[in-house]
Structure 1
């Protein structure tokens, strides 16, 4: 059976009448006749013309579904730069493969949702005057402050391990925005602890504090957007 390389595989993307090929574990399958791969796209996420060996690990089905389709070719192995790492870490990753990619996705959502909540509960307090909302905002702010460095650490780990610490625009933006976010969190949390009545009565200092709290929302959105763009790339028309 003939073999093709990754560059040639890209040509079979299921668009403009071309066949839709996907690869898994060195095998290339022709999924052109599958309605689930219409237009070369599966579940609005996976694109034909790519090696799905890693992606299919997170799918709700196993690789056996690909065996239903004819094998069109074999995929030539390419030299992949491997991250040099301590032996103990290599053994740990071999025993628990999830530690290679999952730590950051598992932790990054916490600071994002806590920053959203801190902003929303602060606004609810200003609208209703119910002090419990303001106290909840403080709790969320504190929780976000705890989880932000954790998410940053796992992010650097994932970048170092899976992307060989190469400069990537989304990663660079996330790194800078994360630092700004943490600085804002520290200032806002320390200010609120030092001045529990910062929002009552509302004054100039209250306005500055509110701007600081409101800034947490767009900062978290930017982090979420560029993180998601690496997992779910936005295809340009």
Structure 2
């Protein structure tokens, strides 16, 4: 019988009862579940740290979002944490995992099997210390000629050397040690309940192609957070200086506005390209409402910048002429401000989800 100690931090009594019922319905596992209702109770309890996994709701009465997660991690950096989300917030789930949580689960879509799998993987990954294991290193531990027997399932490398079911690196003439059995447990010689009893070596690092290595490098450079600020800031400042020229008549303000508009126009393609790259690579092109809105608003801002740029390029004195067209041009420039601000707020919701 597998024994797992769970510290459940859930502010909603109904959700807490449902989660506990899910776990207790899982066969072959004996649970010790301690439930806390607030972040303050959790932080006070972490000093003892007598649990195997922490289930943390990110919508507690006294702590929400990544702020709650980082406070828990600061108090218990070695604790395996699975975060629980009240709604289908893909951005928050991704950020939570990147911040250090082992997994992010939406309570409304959760069942006992999925929750048990997440708990086992969280414990296994933390037990393995996130040690990277290459495919080549895994192959060397094939259980033959006295060598240790390792195998990988769902990205986790287990040491099954002590199992009597493995003889000379082979399990029932079907499965070979030193190999990756992939994501399907149908290919695994043991169920997850059995694999969880073996020592965890670390996490399998799959071999990547040159193209995949380049993509990973570009992702680590964080090009979009760098490039996106230029068109947004320059667009807003172009409108500000144009307004100052219209109010005071200082021609240097008009010239500065034009230069800022030129910079915004030049920087927009890079901002859009890097944004689409991040969306496809980091967020798997997930079409959540915030991403759909951000892509749509990016297109609007790009069109506004292009229209202002083309108008000013074709008529350099459009603002100085003080004609009805001048005020139409100024109004078009001023439309850049709310578009850029709204786009920045959407970006903030992705980077700092609550």
Pick closer, same or farther for the CA change 1:116–1:158 going to 2, 3 Å: same
Looking at structure 2, the residues matched to 199 and 130 of structure 1 have their Cα atoms a distance apart, in angstroms, of 12
**Residue 90, structure 1, aligned to residue 206, structure 2:** no
Deviation at 1:218, TM superposition (A): 0.6
The count of aligned residue pairs is: 201
Partner of 1:110: 230
Compared CA separation, residues 153 and 42, structure 1 to 2 (3 A): closer
Q: Could you say which structure has the higher strand fraction?
A: 2
Q: Could you tell which deviates more after superposition, 98-107 or 204-213?
A: 98-107
Deviation at 1:216, TM superposition (A): 0.5
SS at match of 2:229: helix
Take 1:125 and 1:45, find their aligned partners in 2: how far apart are those partners? 47
Aligned residues: CA RMSD: 3.9
CA contact (8 A) 2:39 2:63 kept: no
Task: Assess if the C-alpha contact under 8 Å between 1:125 and 1:131 holds in 2.
Answer: yes
Residues of 2 paired with 1:158 and 1:208: CA distance?
36
Matched, 1:39 2:62: yes
Aligned partners of 1:178, 1:227: CA distance in 2, in Å? 11
What TM-score, normalized by structure 2, do the two folds share? Answer: 0.48
Cα deviation, residue 163, structure 1? 1.5
CA deviations 1:135-156 (Å, max 9, x no partner) are 1111111111111111111111
- 2:169 equivalent to 1:167: no
- TM-score norm. by structure 1 comes to 0.69
Query: Equivalent residue for 2:140?
Result: none
CA–CA distance in structure 2, aligned partners of residues 41 and 75 of structure 1: 21
Structure 2: unaligned runs, 5 residues or longer: 11-15, 17-34, 47-51, 73-81, 84-92, 101-117, 123-153, 156-182, 184-207
Taking the aligned partners of 1:161 and 1:9, their CA distance within structure 2 comes to 32
1:15 to 38, 43, 58: 38
SS at match of 1:159: helix
Residue in structure 1 matched with residue 78 of structure 2 by the alignment? none
Asked if residue 2 in structure 1 is aligned to residue 25 in structure 2, the reply is no
Cα distance in 1 for residues equivalent to 2:285 and 2:254? 40
Matched, 1:199 2:319: yes
Q: 1:120 to 1:160 in 2, by over 3 A?
A: same
The structure-2 alpha-carbon separation of the partners of 1:14 and 1:100, relative to structure 1 and needing over 3 Å to count, comes to: farther
Structure 1: segments with no counterpart, 5+ residues:
32-37, 57-73
Q: Does structure 1 conserve the Cα–Cα contact (< 8 Å) formed by 2:9 and 2:37? A: no
Report the alpha carbon displacement of residue 28 of structure 1 after superposing the two structures with TM: 5.2
Q: Helix, strand or coil for the counterpart of 1:2?
A: strand
| Greater helix proportion | 1
Quick check: which has more Rg, 1 or 2? 2
Task: State the distance in 1 between where 2:305 and 2:246 align.
Answer: 20
Equivalence map 1:52-71=2 (5 Å) = 54-55=98-99
Matches for 1:115-154 after TM superposition, within 5 Å: 115-154=235-274
- Which residue matches 1:222? 342
CA deviations over 1:12-48 (Å, ceiling 9, x no partner): 78627652599xxxx85799xxxxxx93469957565
Summarize the Cα distance change of 1:16–1:193 in structure 2 as closer, same or farther, 3 Å threshold.
closer
Cα–Cα, structure 1 residues 77 and 90, in superposed 2: closer, same or farther, change >3 Å?
Answer: farther
The answer to whether 1:232 aligns with 2:276 is: no
For the residues of structure 2 that align with 1:171 and 1:43, how far apart are their CA atoms? 19
The verdict on how the C-alpha distance between 1:43 and 1:222 changes in structure 2, with shifts beyond 3 A counting, is same
